[in-house]
Amino acid sequence: LHERTNEDVKEQIGFLLNSLKTDPQFIDPVSDAVKEIVGRSGKKLELMQAAKKEEDLALAGTFQAALHRQILDTLSSAFALLLSHMDRNTGLFLLSKAGSKVRDIWLYLFGRSVNDLGGFQLMSIKEGGAVEVLSDGSSSQSFRSRFPFSFFLARILTEARSLTQDSQNPAKSLQSQFSLLNWEFGIADKMDKATLFRYAYDFTAMNCAFSQNMDRVQQAQILWKIVSLAKGSEPTLISEIHAYYWQTETTITAYFGLIDAVPPCLASIKGSVLAAESMGADLDMTLVGHVIAGLAPSAQEWKEVQDYGDWMTKFEDVRPIVEGLLAICGRLSEPPSALEEVSNSWEKLLF
């Protein structure tokens, strides 16, 4: 769930009221979506209930008012469900701040997701009940989305994974499957880097473990670079973010693990990844070398016994990752030239 401050709520209410009064591009799809939700819910006016329930009549005043109240209850509940869908991962905030290009994509995907997605319980309108606004952030950490309805697109692409992962070219196959859905506004086409990186940011927040030691932008930058190295050039399609992440997920997870275990290595590891011209064993050894340098006793400033205990915690946390990378490189038919030197340096830390 996403937490909001009072200022967030005030800003959101102000934006909604203004949009519902003055923005036909927003009003029309919202109106259509409310009708869609009410239609799918199967809700009907309960004429006999309105006539028989004395409490409802007493509160409403007249039979007509009691029926009017049923309509308002149904519509307000449908609108609440709709708001929870719009504001998933603070999507409404994105709309309120977006430029024209992102706004067009938001309005299009809003209508498309209402029609295609059963993910916000269209069939279960409950008058007067609280509606949860979900967050798709990994590690139960909410995030502010930068690409409209990225959770909706991610779900579709993830569902297509099983159809494409065994093909000779999974990235091409995934793009083919994605394109079959007849997207508009260039959703399945090549995008400029700034727009696609918005999606990469959301994808990172939804798929990579939350870190106390680097923010989501830094994580997304590293993920983007690894995906680019795997592809051989920067990604240009939403589907490529998925396909090449799945191909390199183990590597990305290991690199993030190195940083989390030894936070002082963030700058050096990130710098080496972003400067890399290829991925593989040589890059692995470079990053392990940064970790070893960061853990070297000569680099520590131990003053108390507790300082050594903190060092041991870092060492034990990073140990399985480092030893895993060393083992993988050691099994290669042509191990990297730095393997022996890095392995010896690691062995010195062990003793």
DSSP assignment letter at 331: T
Distance from the first to the final alpha carbon of the chain: 46
79-90 pLDDT, tens digit each: 888 888 898 998
Interatomic CA distance for residues 70 and 85, integer angstroms: 23
Tokens coding 97 = 């701040």
At 29 the pLDDT is: 86
Asked whether residue 119 carries a pLDDT value surpassing 50, the answer given is no
Mean pLDDT of 305-330: 91
Q: Per residue in 269-283, pLDDT tens? A: 999 999 999 999 999
State whether the Cα torsion 323-328-331-336 is positive or negative: negative
Query: In whole angstroms, what is the distance from residue 105 CA to residue 188 CA?
Result: 12
- Is residue 33 over pLDDT 90? no
Chain centre to alpha carbon of residue 121 = 21
* pLDDT tier for residue 8 given thresholds of 50, 70 and 90: confident
Q: Which of 25-29, 116-120, 131-135, 291-295 has the lowest average pLDDT?
A: 116-120
Spatial CA neighbour of 167 closest among 250, 251, 252, 246: 246
pLDDT digits (tens, 9 = 90+) for 151-187: 999 999 999 999 998 899 999 999 999 999 999 999 9
- The answer, yes or no, to whether residue 9 has pLDDT greater than 80, is no
Instruction: Band the pLDDT of 56: cuts 50, 70, 90.
Output: low
Mean pLDDT of the chain: 87
Amino acid identity, position 30: V
By the 8 A CB rule, do 242 and 229 touch? Answer: no
Average pLDDT over residues 195-205: 98
- Please give the C-alpha separations between residue 333 and each of 229, 324, 326, 344, in angstroms, as whole numbers: 22, 17, 14, 20
Instruction: Give 234-247 pLDDT, tens digit per residue.
Output: 999 999 999 999 99
Supply the pLDDT for residue 124.
52
Q: How many CA atoms lie within 13 A of 51 on its CB side?
A: 4
Please tell me the pTM assigned to this model.
Answer: 0.87
Confidence of residue 51 (pLDDT cuts 50, 70, 90): very low
